[in-house]
Homo-oligomer: A and B are copies of this chain.
Amino acid sequence: MVVVMKKGAAEGDIQHVIDFIHQFGLKTHLSKGRERTIIGVIGEKSKLEKDQISVLRGVSKVYNILQPFKLVSREFQSENSVIQVNDVAIGGGTPVIFAGPCSVENERQILDTAWMVKEFGAKILRGGAFKPRTSPYSFQGLGLEGLKLLKKAREETGLSIVTEVMDPADVELISEYADILQVGSRSMQNFNLLKAVGRTRKPVLLKRGMSATLTELLMSAEYIMSEGNPNIILCERGIRTFVEYSRNTLDLNIVPAVQKISHLPIIVDPSHGTGRSDLVAPLSLAAIAVGADGLMVEVHPKPELALSDANQSLNAEQFGELMRKVIQLIGWRKMHAESHVTV
């Protein structure tokens, strides 16, 4: 930590700050500039919070100079984490496609979609059984019945399954059916849920909250990892801004920014990140080009009959056309732009 004192801070106030820091077993380093005095804090920062010093008399600003996350950082582990899901490796250089309907609605719908997305090259089937919905009057998902249908889709197609878990009490149940546990945007800071999925060894897909900073996203991953589960896949899915023509603003800046400071893989969800089916294809290609480790795309055999997210789902024809381009672009990327991030 670096403590900047106010212009003309009294000697007594400076000494009080130093004494206060020493109480916590930390050392200080004093530097008097022309206008300001600066106090460096040396030692383990976890003993003392920035705010505790900010309130002392004569203090102008306090800066944390160390990152607050450890296990998820590149400093802790320099090589990329590769998350193995059955026979698929996420973070290993080849982007992986997650696709499927917003919600599991019935056997016909989920099986048809599963076969279709598999045919076009997806490796992971997404589908919601427990659905977080803004309105209590909207379709809330099929629950356990939905999990069973997902299991059936896996048995028939061989695709791995990702589905959302909303409640720590459901982690055990859902772990029996899913290959990847999804922690949704609205749950990114549900810390009990993070701890619960952290106590399993299942891969976790952690979606960025609607107004989460990069630090907050990584701190939520740190919760999972500090419980012992290193199998974390991050997911950018759009942030909330003032913008009027898309449901969210897809923030692709975060992909290389995460890759620089963390070893965890990060995929992109252009369906939620745009909220418009006509924008999904161009933003999918952009996500591949920017270096994402995968895509998560909402697909529905008949979007106009979807019980949720109809507006952002692709139909079979649209998804097929997108996948042809995506697969080619992945090939191009592997040849020409393997790693554009300099760590």
Contact = CB atoms under 8 A, between A and B. Distances in A.
Contacts of A289: 282, 285-286, 288-290, 329
A134 B55 contact: no
A284 to B, nearest CB: 9
Contacts of A166: 190-192
Copies of the chain in the assembly: 4
A342 B57 CA distance: 13
A282 B255 contact: yes
A63 B2 contact: yes
A241 interface: yes
B311 A51 contact: yes
Contacts of A250: 251-253
A307 B52 CA distance: 8
Nearest to A17: B304
A182 to B, nearest CB: 15
A283 B2 contact: no
A340 B282 contact: yes
Interface in A251-307: 251-257, 260, 273-274, 276-279, 281-283, 285-291, 303-307
Interface string A305-322: 111111111000000000
Of A2, A42, A276, A282, chain B has the most CB atoms within 10 Å of the CB of A282
Given A219-B136, A288-B289, A325 B336 contact: yes
A308 B51 CA distance: 8
A282 B51 contact: no
Interface string A23-63: 00000010101111010101100100111111110001101
A80 interface: no
A135 interface: yes
11 contacts: A33-B42, A52-B310, A134-B219, A137-B226, A186-B190, A241-B241, A241-B242, A246-B253, A246-B257, A249-B249, A325-B337
Nearest to A277: B55
Interface string A6-21: 0100000000000010
Given A38-B65, A55-B313, A278-B341, 13 more contacts: A31-B40, A49-B310, A51-B308, A51-B310, A136-B222, A136-B223, A168-B169, A213-B244, A243-B251, A246-B257, A257-B279, A283-B290, A289-B329
A256 B241 contact: no
Given A132-B189, A219-B136, A40 B51 contact: no
Interface string A200-238: 000000000011011110010011001000000000000
A221 B286 CA distance: 26
